[in-house]
A and B are shown apart, each in its own frame.
Chain A
Amino acid sequence: MSKTTVKILSLVSALMLMTACSRPEIISVSGSTTVLPAVSKAADAYQSQSGQNIVVNAGGSGSGFNQLAEGQTDIGMMSRDITTDEIARFAQYSFTPIAIGRDAVVPVVSSEIYEAGVTQLSFAQIADIYMGRIDNWSAFGGPDRDIFVIDKESSTGTRQTFFDIVLGDKKAEAPGADLVIGSNNEEQTAMTQSDAAIGMLSLAWLNDDVKGVSIVTESGGVIAPNLENIRNGSYPIARDLNIVIRDDISPKAQAFVDYLLSPNGQAFVQESGYVPVNE
């Protein structure tokens, strides 16, 4: 091998390494699968409008924050607040959550159970199910069938919001759980496959096979899970859908954040089944 060949080869590999290391001209967004549909639709529109490449990845709120904090993504998506623990771990940066919409976490049951008459539950009843104290639908006027309890990974925003409001402890363990799943997609599939399941889903993911039940309040009122009740603030398990940015955000990513908050961007929040902010 002649010296020139070696030189050229090493030069080429060095160049390749450098291009691999330099920050590519794309904006990356990752995190909560609840926030994802709205951001992903907005990203498509923004991309065709401005030519800026945007990659939107799922992973869950916890993973979205970790990736943002470790500099692997420009924008994190979170369907829950940043915990003090998370802030303390990356104290060298400051993070700003920006609400891009509002959503509800809805207790959902299989359509068979819903049609058999279980259309409303109180917080205490849901707690009984997740704590494993009641394990048959007949206790709530449903058919004589074991309750199939679907839980979510503990770092997901949906679970933390749900457990925080229903059980008063967002990290509570659920000894009654029969299955643990991750994303909203996976939950929807598992719900559809069962005929006696209860789970928790973001409002936008309800469909004919997966029915949201109304909440019975302590005063006896019944609040249906719908956009109207989120908007007027009466639905109790509501939360902000956030994107999170680090203080050293690039101007390009900032421009996309601005777009998300603009009327054009907010239209996609609405289209995804959530309540826009600034309404």
Chain B
Amino acid sequence: MSADNHPHKSGLKVKPRRLSKNYAVKSYALASCLSSIGLFGLIFIVLAVQSLPAFTEAGSTLLSARWNPTDNQYGMLPMLYGTLVVMFIAMIVAVPIGVFAAIYIAETRSARLRRFTRSSLEVLAGIPSIVYGLIGVAYVSVWIAKGLDLQTGRLILTAGLILAVMILPTILSLTTDAILNVPRDFRENAQALGLYRYEVFRDVIWPIAKTDIAGAALLALGRALGETMAVMLVIGSIDRLPKPIFNVLSSGQTITSKLGREVGESAFGSTHFSALVLMSLILVTITVLLTAASQHFFGRGRHV
């Protein structure tokens, strides 16, 4: 090292090193960023390629309601129907409860209570889904069967209700955030104008917070969509459309529960496997669209 002979240049010696350190960190960050994007792209491509045989070999049967791999029948309607209906039930139960509870907590309770509810919600959100599934199988489905006098409580409705409980924390805490994120000035000015409390909320807070709340609901929907274990245990796993079609008091199947039950049984490369991959591709596509939509909402909320 020549720097030893030129002590007055020692300052220069440090500088390039710091630069190179910066450079290393930067390129590391860039590499991680690119690799996570690449990973997503890779997953998408793999799913797309693997699902091609399903189109060529099962073709038109994909849109039927009959699933029987031995007969080369891969009708996905029952799974698509189950997924949509379960999501719908979860949302109509969880969104009103979550939003109203959040309004109550954010608008009328003290900061201390908010902190307490926040931490308990985080605990609730952290409970592994299999636990919800076990509670669903052991208690909820039994209660529903007894209460409605049915043969079984493993129903589309049960799955929807369990999911509602699971996404409630997400909706509740994000909605509370959305309300509290409205700048204090707005609230104070409105109060200074002499508006009643509910008027402050209805006319000032809600219009600003509602895009964020919509984003929260979509995020929760995304979670509900991907949930597997809990749904798989309580939905009954019948690949059949209910009769009549809106009878949620019958057993059904979602994409996730179907995948959970059958992926291990299907051989890699078979049409069966390919059909399952096609279903996961549909699932991923819906999730991506939901995430994009929720980010769009969140983004708009911030600009107000």
Contact with A along B129-146 (1 / 0, CB 8 A): 000000001000110010
Q: In chain A between 112 and 162, which residues have their CB closer than 8 angstroms to a CB of chain B?
A: 146, 148, 153-155
Q: Chain A, interface size: which category? A: 20 to 34
| 10 residue pairs bridging A and B, Cβ less than 8 Å apart | A60-B264, A63-B265, A155-B262, A177-B238, A179-B154, A179-B251, A180-B237, A181-B237, A189-B137, A193-B141
Which residues of A have CB within 8 Å of B5? none
Chain A residues with CB below 8 A from B141, complex form: 193
B residues sitting closer than 8 Å to A (CB atoms) are 21, 24, 68-70, 137, 141-142, 145, 151-154, 236-239, 251, 261-262, 264-268, 270
Provide the residues of chain B in CB contact with A70, threshold 8 Å. Answer: 268
Residue of B nearest to A66 (CB): B267
CB distance from B172 to the nearest CB of A (A): 32
Q: Which residues of A contact B (CB under 8 A)?
A: 1, 59-60, 62-63, 66-67, 69-70, 86, 89, 146, 148, 153-155, 171, 173, 177-182, 189-190, 193-194, 196-197
| Chain B neighbourhood of A181, CB < 8 A | 237
Considering residues B24, B261, B264, B266, which has the most beta carbons from chain A within 10 angstroms of its beta carbon?
A: B264
Contact, CB under 8 Å: A153 / B151? no
For B237, the closest partner residue in chain A by CB is A180
The residue that B262 contacts in the complex, of A89, A153, A171, with Cβ under 8 A, is A153
Rounded to whole angstroms, the CA-CA distance of A197 and B145 in the bound complex is: 14
Contact of A179 among B24, B69, B152 (CB under 8 A): B152
- By beta carbon, the residue of chain A nearest B142 is A193
User: Which residues from chain A contact B236 at a C-beta distance below 8 Å?
Assistant: 178-180
Closest 9 CB pairs of A and B: A63-B264, A62-B265, A155-B265, A171-B70, A180-B237, A148-B151, A179-B236, A89-B267, A1-B24
Could you tell me the distance between the alpha carbons of A55 and B238 in the complex, rounded to whole angstroms? 32
CB distance from B2 to the nearest CB of A (A): 18
Chain B residues with CB under 8 A of A60 = 264-265
Question: Do A173 and B151 form a contact, CB below 8 Å, given A63-B264, A89-B270, A193-B145?
Answer: no
A89 to B266 CA separation, bound complex (whole angstroms): 11
**In the complex, are the beta carbons of B265 and A178 less than 8 A apart?**
no
Asked if A178 and B238 make an inter-chain contact with CB atoms under 8 angstroms apart, the answer reads yes
Inside 8 A of A63's CB, which chain B residues have their CB?
264-265
Q: Which residues of A contact B151 (CB under 8 A)?
A: 146, 148, 178, 194, 196-197
